[in-house]
Amino acid sequence: MYDLITRIPLTVWAPGRFPAKTVDSLCQQMDLGPTILELAGIEVPPTLEAISMLDALEGADWNGRNFVFAEQIKDGILTGCEFMTMVRNKAWKLVHFLDEPYGQLFDMLKDPNEVNNLWSDPDAANMKQELLSVLREWRIRSGIHTADWSQDWR
Task: Residue 51: count other Cβ atoms within 10 Å of its Cβ.
Answer: 18
Task: Tell me the CA distances in angstroms from 51 to 47, 77, 87, 96, 137, one per residue in order.
Answer: 11, 32, 17, 24, 18
Query: pTM for this one?
Result: 0.81
State the Rg of the chain over Cα. 18
Q: In the 8-state DSSP scheme, what is residue 78?
A: T
Q: Are 19 and 59 in contact (CB under 8 A)?
A: yes
Query: Which pLDDT value is given to residue 151?
Result: 61
Comparing 148 with 29, which gets the higher pLDDT?
29
Structural domains in the chain, CATH included, are 1-65 (no CATH), 68-145 (3.30.1120.10)
Query: Which pLDDT value is given to residue 113?
Result: 95
35-65 pLDDT per residue, tens: 999 999 999 988 788 889 999 988 888 889 9
The Cα–Cα gap between 35 and 55 comes to 9
